[in-house]
Structure 1
Amino acid sequence: MKPKLGNSSKPRKFQSYSILETLPPLAKKWAESLPWEERRYVLSLCHLLCGSTPDLQAEFLDEYTADGLVARMLEDRDTQHQVQKYLFRFYLKTELNQAVLKSYVRQFFIHSSQDLREQPHDYLESALRLVISTEEKNSLFNYILGFELLKMIFQMSWAQQERLSILQKSPTSFIKNYIKPIQKAHKLNGIVVPKYERIFFEKHDYYVQIPDLSEKRSIELVMNTFTTNTVSDFGFSMIRHPQSLTFDYEYIYQPEQESIFTQDLEVINI
């Protein structure tokens, strides 16, 4: 027995209208008011976006939305000043001006596209939330703070990283989540090459070596080592709890002594 056409068409009609119901009221009103010619343009754009690779989606969304996102971020002076204050606290010289914010918007889209290469629909969904929601822009500030801090740690020697870890309330967790991945990336990319790693008195040369990293290389390493969520969560933890990362510049960057090693080297070994 053939199903009735009326019954089979109802779910589709309900589903199409339920999508419009999820839009903000002004967007829903705009979409419903479009004449047929302009609706065709919207549908064509939707088709192209959904059929594109994450990299192409990232490029389009960056070009199409960057200026608007940056303008909204600059309007949020309280969050901007709060993040800038934290950057200065960690002796980081990055200034959150329009050019820096715009470069971070582009980087955020590219980083997200790398994370979700196997799930492009999730990337597009997260990118649209970022564009539509006034609250989601804070995730960009979290991302910027977390990224700048991870770049800083990437540029430390292993001895400096250990001293930073010792200062934390939970050194073991900090080492597992941040230091080990960074040191692994150092080794895989030939930035710090351990020699006689298990022999205590042979540790000094590579252990105190300052990584020779350009700004571009540091950015690539952070993006390849950590996901956007990890970076954003790291920044958010700082904003939520200002003392979540204990930092003592003089202690961490003290001059190295030839015959003195920290006592907890085995904790950091990978």
Structure 2
Amino acid sequence: MFRIFTDRHGKPVCNSLKKTVQRVGALVFPDMCLNCRALLPVSKEPDFSEPAFFCAECRARGLPAFEPPYCRICGHMFDTGDTHVCETCLTDPPVVHRVRAALAYQGLVPEIVPLFKYHARLSLTPFFDSLMFNALDRYFRDTEIHWIVPVPLHPKKLRQRGFNQSLLLVRRLYDTYERHYGARPGWQVDASVLKRVRYTHSQTGLDIAARKNNLKNAFQVPDPARVKNAGILLVDDVYTTGATSNEAARALLAGGAVRVDVLVLARA
């Protein structure tokens, strides 16, 4: 038989020991703000259920949510007025059906997304997970989706970076949905639906025309039968000009998909 030892308050000793070790660890190896690297204060009764990411000064800059008014198609946010279709989408409609996001690319967001993407601050992943699920549930709950597809990296870039940030943003969506609703979703998350077959240079610093040319024929659907007549939700970290998402959507539609929507962590 196993005995569960308790302290004088009747609480399991193992839990008390765990909390003690956590408190000592926080003092010996104090948390630092992921953005400015300032030391974070250690409280007498720290809450270890959620890790501390940012100092008060950085948090004050805000993590603004993606909120209306915005373009009904590309999600470009307006300062005032009502939600409507922007001039760009009227004159040059994108390939994707609509774009929605968890965050606006403002405040602290332009700094923490690169931390996650380029500096492997993967401790942010659980925080981003919850944001992505909430956005999925808010904007695409009633949309017929068959596949949730992270925008793929070329194998060479994947080896260089070590991970695909878009895949990290979606890999827990299925389990989160199942826990939240007590039922399985009607879609699957699958990174093999779309492949990046041409290595491309960074889009940073390129204008819209150069971005489109840089990504031309970069994506391919290995098995078109899987996407035939399917609704696809494409997931990426940031939507700026839409060059990446639209080229990926073009390949999916050419493979037989009937509709491609986009969900991103942040809309610039």
Bin of the TM-score, shorter chain as denominator length: under 0.3
Higher helix share: 1
TM-score by length of 2: 0.25
Q: Which structure has the greater CA radius of gyration?
A: 1
Higher relative contact order (CA 8 A, sep 6+): 1
Q: Using structure 1 for the length normalisation, give the TM-score.
A: 0.25
Greater strand share, structure number: 2
